[in-house]
Structure 1
Amino acid sequence: MSDHTCGAGCQHFSHLNDADLQGEFKEARQSLRSSIGGNTTTGTAGLAGVTHRPLPSKKAGEQVSHYYVPANNKTIHWGYFSKTMEPLLKLESGDYATIETVTHHANDDIERMVKGDAGAESIFQWDAKSKAVNRRGAGAMDDPLGAGGGLGVHVCTGPIYVNGAEPGDVLEVRIIDTMQRPSANPDYRGKTFGSNVASNWGYHYNNLITEPKGREVITIYEVDAKGDQTWAKAVYNYRWTPQTDPFGTVHPIIDYPGVPVDRNTIKPNYDVLKGYEIPVRPHFGTIGVAPSEADMVSSIVPNYTGGNFDNWRMGKGATAFFPVAVAGGMFSVGDPHASQGDAELCGTAIECSLTGLFQFIVHKKADLAGTKLQGLDYPLLETASELIVHGFSSPNYLKEFGADNASEIFKKSSLDSAMTDAFNKTRRFFMDTRNLTEDEAISLISVSVDFGITQVVDGNWGVHAIIKKAIFPK
C-alpha cells in the first residue's frame, strides 16, 4: 500500500509525468514573474498565485505524485541533519517534490531578503521575547551564543522520507529545475539578492595583507529573479561590526546564524566591483541524507551521506546519488547559492534563496552490482557529460573521530588526505564498475580525469574528480 503522507505546509498532487511536471514548473515560473514585488504573500511563501493541478501519469495505472514544500518555520530545521526527526512528508520512489529553500544569510540585508516574504519572515522572526526557530545547530540548547550554538548554520528544508529506502540502498535525486526566490519587497521588484561573506572561517582570513586585519566583509549581490539575465552584480559591501541580537547577546564576529544586522551600525560601500559580471549558476550547497552514526550532526561538515559539500555543479539537470544509511533516507536540502567558485575560498558563495524541482528514485542494494552505483559509499554527482566523484579529508569523519569528538576534523583536514580519498574512490570506480585493471585505471585517471578543490571551508575539506563520459567505449 502506498504511504503518501505529509505534514504541515505540504500540498499533494498526483498523476504527473516528466514533461507535464516541467510544464507545471514553467507555469510556476511565469506566475512568479507576474507576482514579483507584489503585496505580501500568503500561503506558499514567495510564490503568490502559483497553482498545481492533477495531470495524467506516464503509464496507465501508474500513479506519480508531486508534493509542494514551502519554506517556513514549520518545514525547516536549522543547522543539522538528524535520523530521529519526524519526517516532513513520506513519498514513493519515482515521486516528485518542489521544495523551497531559504538562505541562512538573509538577515545580512533584511530589507532585500526578508521583508514582505511571509516564509522568510516566519523563519527569521526573533524579538526580545522569542525566536521562531530556536535551535540553530547541533550544539547545546543552553550555549552562550544561542540555542544549538551555531554548530551547524544552514536552513534545511525537510526531512523527506522515501518509502522503501533502506540502509545499503542508493537514493537518486534528480534536480529537474531551479528558480530564484524573488525579493518580496516592492522596492526591489524583479530582483533577487544574495550575500557573500568573507568570514572568520574563510581560507583567506589569516592571510590578509591590508588593514584592518581580522575583518569580515559582507558583499550583497543582485540577481535577476526572472532568470533572463545570466549574471549577478555586486550592489554594495560592508564590514561586520559587533551585533547585539534580540536576546542581548553581543556577536563581535559572525559566530551564530541569523543574527539580524542593524544597518545603523554598518557603513555600506556602494563603490564595489563596478562593471564585473558574475555568471549565475544556481545550485544547492547542502543536500543529502541523514547519517546513522549519531542522532544529530552539524550541517557544516560534509560526509559520506552528502550534506554541505558545496559543489556548484549541483544545479539544474544534475543528478545526485547518496548511500542510504537510515530507513527512508531522511533527505534534506538547503544552503542555496546563486553562484560559487571551486574552493569557496572566503567562506561562502553568493548565498541566495532558491526553489527546486526534484525527483526521488530508490535503487535497491541487490540491483547495484555491475552498475555505476556498485559499492557506492559517497555522494556521486552526474551531469549530462560528466560523473563527479567526491573525496573528503575524512571519508566518514563521524566514524573516524566518533560523534562526541567530531570537531577534531577541523584540526586535521588537509588537501593531501582529500586528494588521496578522491583518487582511491576514482580508481575503485573504474575497477569495480568498468572492469578495468588497476594499471588501466591509473593511466586513464592520469590522462583524462580532472581533480578540483570542492571546498576548503567546511571542516572536512573536499576534492572532486571529474570523469568525462566521452571517454567511455561507445
Structure 2
Amino acid sequence: MTHSFHVSSQERHLKWSQALTPTLTVPSGSEVSFDLLDGGHNQIRPDNEATALRDFNFEMTDPAFGPIYIEGAEPGDVLVVEILDLKPGDYGWTALLPGFGLLADEFEAETPQLKMWNLTDEGTVTRQGSKRKLAVLKPGVAVPVRPFLGVLGVAPAVPGELSTIPPYASSGGNMDCRDLSTVGAKVYLPVNVPGALFSCGDGHAAQGDGEVCGTAIETPMKARLRLTIEKAADWTLKGKKGLECPHYITPKKGREDIEEEVLADKGEYAALGIHEDIREASRMAVRGLVDWLQAEKGMTRVEAYMLCSVASKLRMSEVVDMPNYAVSCALPLDVFIDE
C-alpha cells in the first residue's frame, strides 16, 4: 500500500548527522512530497535581486530537507529513491560568487555576478514542433528546462556533523549529477544507520555536467519521491553486501523524447583539455569553450562561463594513456535558437 507524507520548507538542516531527529517516520514504499527552498536557502529572489549577492551568506547554502526515518531500514540495506515528479519555481538564478567555481581565480574581476531566469510560461520559449520549455539566457540563447535535485542523501557512516556542501561516497548528499535525479530516475543509496534518515534538496531547473561556475539554474522546487528499502541480502555485488557508493538508473526515453532530440540536434562544439592533473585538464577544457563562445558567438566572458555551467557536458574522455588525462567540455549547439 502506498502512503503519502509531506515535508515542508521549514523542516531543513545544514549538517548531515546520525543524531538528527526525524521529521517523519514512514513505511517502506511511501510517497513523500517536499516543498524545497533553493540551494542558496532562497537568499536570492526577484524581489531582492539588486542586493542579494552583497548580503549572501555561504553558511546557509545547500539546505537538506528532512530527515525521514524509513521503517525497517538497517545498516547494509539499500534505499531506493524514485523521482516521481519535480516542479521548478517561477524563477531561477545563476551566480558567479567570489572564490567559487572551476575558474574562480580567472574571474575575480567579474565577481560577483547574477543572472535571474524567468521560468514562467511567459518567460520561457519553445522551439517549433517542441513542447519543452527553454530558459532564456539572452536573446537567441536558451537552454532546455530539465529539472533535477542536486541533494539526495542519508545519514553518514561516521558520527559527528558533516557539511551539506560536498558529496560523500557512503551517503550521497550534494552530488549535483544532472542525470541522477530527473523525473523517472531511480537512485540507490547505502543505508548507514537504522531508518536511513533520508533528506533531499537543491532544486535545479537546468545544469551542465560539472556545474563549472559553481551554480546551475538554482530554483525552489516541489518534489514527489517514493522511498523503498531493499534488504542487504538482495544486494550482493561481487560478494559484497549492499553498496559502497550511490548508483542510479536513468529513465527510459519515449518516442516523443527521441523525436524532440532529433528535431533540436545541431551537434556539439567541444574543447579538449589535456594535462597530467585532471583538474587542470578540466580547467583547460572549460577555458577553451569560454574563449570560443566569446570569439565566435559574441558572448561576454561572464555569459559564456554561465552558459557552460548550465548547459555544457564536462566529461572524462580519456584516462588510461599516462601521464596525461583528456577532459572534454562540449556544448550542444541547439542552445543557439535563432541559427
Instruction: Write the letter of the residue equivalent to 1:101.
Output: L
Displacement of 1:96 in angstroms is: 0.7
Pick from 54, 69, 80 the counterpart of residue 172 of structure 1.
80
2:133 pairs with 1:230: yes
Contact residue 80 and residue 154 of structure 1 kept, 8 A: no
- What is the CA deviation profile of residues 3-34 of structure 1, one whole-angstrom value per residue up to 9, with x for unaligned ones? xxxxxxxxxxxxxxxxxxxxxxxxxxxxxxxx
Instruction: Write the letter of the residue equivalent to 2:315.
Output: G
Instruction: Write the letter of the residue equivalent to 2:45.
Output: D
Q: Which moved more, 1:217-226 or 1:351-360?
A: 217-226
Contact residue 81 and residue 332 of structure 1 kept, 8 A: no
2:176 pairs with 1:310: yes
Pick from 77, 102, 116 the counterpart of residue 220 of structure 1.
116
Match of residue 203 from structure 1:
102
Aligned ranges for residues 37-186 of structure 1 at < 5 Å?
63-72=1-10, 75-77=11-13, 79-105=14-40, 106-111=42-47, 150=59, 153-181=61-89
Instruction: Write the letter of the residue equivalent to 2:150.
Output: G
2: CA distance, partners of 1:451 / 1:217: 22
- What is the CA deviation profile of residues 388-415 of structure 1, one whole-angstrom value per residue up to 9, with x for unaligned ones? xxxxxxxxxxxxxxxxxxxxxxxxxx74
Q: CA RMSD in A?
A: 3.2
Instruction: Write the letter of the residue equivalent to 2:140.
Output: G
Larger Rg belongs to = 1
Contact residue 224 and residue 232 of structure 1 kept, 8 A: no
TM-score (ref. length: structure 2): 0.65
1: CA distance, partners of 2:67 / 2:229: 16
1: CA distance, partners of 2:4 / 2:19: 25
Contact residue 284 and residue 315 of structure 1 kept, 8 A: yes
Instruction: Write the letter of the residue equivalent to 1:213.
Output: A
Q: Which moved more, 1:98-107 or 1:294-303?
A: 98-107
Displacement of 1:371 in angstroms is: 9.3
Seen in structure 2, the aligned counterparts of structure 1 residues 335 and 373 have a Cα distance that, compared at 3 Å, is farther
2: CA distance, partners of 1:310 / 1:370: 25
2:319 pairs with 1:384: no
2:234 pairs with 1:336: no
Moved segments of 4+, more than 4 Å: 225-229, 370-375
- What is the CA deviation profile of residues 421-456 of structure 1, one whole-angstrom value per residue up to 9, with x for unaligned ones? xxxxxxxxxxxxxxxxxxxxxxxxxxxxx9936xxx
2: CA distance, partners of 1:338 / 1:223: 8
Match of residue 460 from structure 1:
none
Match of residue 222 from structure 2:
355
1: CA distance, partners of 2:86 / 2:213: 25
Displacement of 1:385 in angstroms is: 4.7
Q: How many residues align?
A: 247
- What is the CA deviation profile of residues 61-115 of structure 1, one whole-angstrom value per residue up to 9, with x for unaligned ones? xx3211122212xx122x22121111000001111111111114332225289xx
**What SS does the corresponding residue of 1:290 show, helix, strand or coil?**
coil
1: CA distance, partners of 2:159 / 2:315: 30
Match of residue 165 from structure 2:
300
Displacement of 1:222 in angstroms is: 1.3
Instruction: Write the letter of the residue equivalent to 1:99.
Output: F
Displacement of 1:324 in angstroms is: 0.5
**What SS does the corresponding residue of 1:71 show, helix, strand or coil?**
coil
Match of residue 264 from structure 2:
none
Seen in structure 2, the aligned counterparts of structure 1 residues 383 and 334 have a Cα distance that, compared at 3 Å, is same
Seen in structure 2, the aligned counterparts of structure 1 residues 375 and 97 have a Cα distance that, compared at 3 Å, is closer
Instruction: Write the letter of the residue equivalent to 1:155.
Output: P
Seen in structure 2, the aligned counterparts of structure 1 residues 87 and 176 have a Cα distance that, compared at 3 Å, is same
1: CA distance, partners of 2:240 / 2:134: 35
2: CA distance, partners of 1:167 / 1:415: 34
Pick from 436, 439, 452 the counterpart of residue 315 of structure 2.
452
Seen in structure 2, the aligned counterparts of structure 1 residues 178 and 83 have a Cα distance that, compared at 3 Å, is same
Displacement of 1:275 in angstroms is: 2.2
Q: Which moved more, 1:225-234 or 1:199-208?
A: 225-234
Contact residue 174 and residue 358 of structure 1 kept, 8 A: yes
Seen in structure 2, the aligned counterparts of structure 1 residues 197 and 174 have a Cα distance that, compared at 3 Å, is same
Displacement of 1:378 in angstroms is: 0.6
Contact residue 117 and residue 135 of structure 2 kept, 8 A: yes
Displacement of 1:325 in angstroms is: 0.8
- What is the CA deviation profile of residues 18-59 of structure 1, one whole-angstrom value per residue up to 9, with x for unaligned ones? xxxxxxxxxxxxxxxxxxxxxxxxxxxxxxxxxxxxxxxxxx
Q: Which has the higher strand share?
A: 2
Seen in structure 2, the aligned counterparts of structure 1 residues 66 and 415 have a Cα distance that, compared at 3 Å, is farther
Seen in structure 2, the aligned counterparts of structure 1 residues 112 and 216 have a Cα distance that, compared at 3 Å, is closer
Contact residue 173 and residue 360 of structure 1 kept, 8 A: yes
**What SS does the corresponding residue of 1:333 show, helix, strand or coil?**
strand
TM-score (ref. length: structure 1): 0.48
Instruction: Write the letter of the residue equivalent to 1:288.
Output: G
Match of residue 289 from structure 1:
154
Displacement of 1:225 in angstroms is: 6.1
**What SS does the corresponding residue of 2:44 show, helix, strand or coil?**
helix
- What is the CA deviation profile of residues 223-259 of structure 1, one whole-angstrom value per residue up to 9, with x for unaligned ones? 136996511123xxxxxxxxxxxxxxxxxxxxxxxxx
Gaps of 5+ in 1: 1-62, 114-123, 125-144, 182-191, 235-272, 387-413, 420-449, 454-462, 464-474
Gaps of 5+ in 2: 125-130, 254-276, 283-312, 317-326, 328-339
